[in-house]
Amino acid sequence: MTRARCKVLIVIAALAAIALVVPHSTSFLILLATRALAFSILVMSLDLLLGFAGLASLGQAAYLGVGAYLTAILATRYQFGLGYDFGLVVALGMFMSAALAAVFGLLAVRATGVYFLMITLALGQCVWGLAYRWNSLTGGDNGINLPHRPQFGIDLANEVTFFYVVFGFFVVSLSIMYTLVRSPFGRSLVGIREREPRMKILGYNTWLHKYLAFIIAGAFGGLSGVLWAHTAGIVSPENVVLTTSVDALLMTVLGGPGTLVGGAIGAAVVLFIREYLSTLVHWWQYVLGGVYILVILYLPGGLMSIPERIRRRAARAEAPAAQSLAAAKL
């Protein structure tokens, strides 16, 4: 059994465990897990950019915002998307976000490094500005309250049912993104991340690869937004503000960039600290800030790199010769 297949099996086992255990826990935990799963899709979409294409976006919340606002506006104004047409809203949310990413990508994808960070920040702020100020459409600072969750044969108002629906979307998203990064397209993205000029010389249209990745990430961001709107029951500028984009970025790095599931772990850890620890102690934000700083300083590969580190340390203890080999790999 190859190591990659072993990892997939571990992820499947963990997902099965979540699907089995969470519904039998408290309703607080079910809601927390639902939130984490919905937000994870956004984080994984960012990991697609950061971990594979090497593009650190500071405006990923914009796509969550488009999906979420679309859902809320359709639901409150047109009572659309509260029955079987929920599926259409999902498709439309993904499409609209992808369309926005297609426009933003034209401006952003050419930039690299710090400039990419800055331009995505600016673009994200554009969306936030509209959400915050365009009162007649978005409800301004107050946001929009959603009427109720969709009902189509099953009632999503039931928290366990809704959990399974979000869980389903999460698993499908993860599978699609995993397939994508394992495909030749994903491999080329990694190549571009590692050395773009070389990929260009080899004849790859690197701009187009990054542009497509940007659009795909936008689409998944939109999906995350549609689910988030119904999870939270309210959509507000808070969802598209700079700190939400920063959160997504930190969760990606906390979990481990380039791992996809790492993003989900990062999201779960952060939301757990923010929503559970904050009910216990008032200084929870020190913990969060501290965790970020420690991970960035001492664990650049994120939480997902811990097993690898332990393995490497064990190997180093066994054979000092392996040490130089590991160093050479780095």
Partner 1 sequence: MDARFWLIQTFNGVSYGALLFLVGSGLSLIFGVMRIVNLSHGSYFLLGGYVALTVIWTAGSWLLAVPVAAVTVAVIGLVMERVFLRPLGFDPLRQVLLTVGFAFLFQQAALDIWTGNPFDIDPPAALTKSIVVGGLHLPLYRIFMIGVALAIGLALWLMMEKTRFGAAIRATVDDAQMARGVGIDTSLISMLIFALGALLAALGGVIGGGFLGVYPGLDFEMLPVAFAVVIIGGMGSLGGAAIGALLVGLADNFGKALFPEVSYFTLYAPMALILAVRPTGLFGRD
Chain residues that interact with partner 1, rule: CB under 8 A: 50, 56, 58, 104, 106-108, 110-111, 113-115, 117-119, 121-123, 125-126, 128-130, 132-136, 241-243, 246, 249-250, 253, 282-283, 285-286, 288-290, 292-293, 296-297, 300
Provide the minimum distance between the beta carbon of 58 and partner 1 in the complex, in angstroms, as a whole number. 8
Provide the minimum distance between the beta carbon of 80 and partner 1 in the complex, in angstroms, as a whole number. 24
Q: Which residues make beta-bridge pairs with 223?
A: none
Sign of the CA dihedral with 281 first, then 282, 287, and 292 last: positive
Provide the minimum distance between the beta carbon of 241 and partner 1 in the complex, in angstroms, as a whole number. 7
11/111 with CB nearer partner 1: 111
Provide the minimum distance between the beta carbon of 155 and partner 1 in the complex, in angstroms, as a whole number. 37
176 backbone dihedrals φ, ψ, rounded to 5°: -60, -45
Provide the minimum distance between the beta carbon of 113 and partner 1 in the complex, in angstroms, as a whole number. 5
Ranges of beta strands (E only) in the chain are 144-145, 151-152, 154-155, 234-235
168/300 with CB nearer partner 1: 300
Provide the minimum distance between the beta carbon of 253 and partner 1 in the complex, in angstroms, as a whole number. 6
Provide the minimum distance between the beta carbon of 112 and partner 1 in the complex, in angstroms, as a whole number. 9
Query: CA 149 to CA 265: how far, in whole Å?
Result: 26
18/117 with CB nearer partner 1: 117
CA atoms within 13 A of residue 320's CA, in its CB half-sphere:
0
104/162 with CB nearer partner 1: 104
Confirm if 231 and 242 have CB atoms less than 8 A apart: no
The residues, ordered by sequence, that sit 6+ positions from 152 with a Cβ below 8 Å of its Cβ are 83, 84, 86
Q: Where are the alpha helices (DSSP H) in 79-134?
A: 86-108, 113-133
Q: Which residues make beta-bridge pairs with 154?
A: 152
300/307 with CB nearer partner 1: 300
Query: CA 113 to CA 330: how far, in whole Å?
Result: 21
The Cα-based distances of 160 to 19, 208, 233 in angstroms read 10, 41, 16
Q: Which H or E run includes 148?
A: none
Beta strand pairing status for 144-145 and 234-235? antiparallel
Q: SS3 of 8, please?
A: helix
94/253 with CB nearer partner 1: 253
128/162 with CB nearer partner 1: 128
Query: CA 268 to CA 264: how far, in whole Å?
Result: 6
Provide the minimum distance between the beta carbon of 244 and partner 1 in the complex, in angstroms, as a whole number. 11
29/246 with CB nearer partner 1: 246
Amino acid type, 317: A
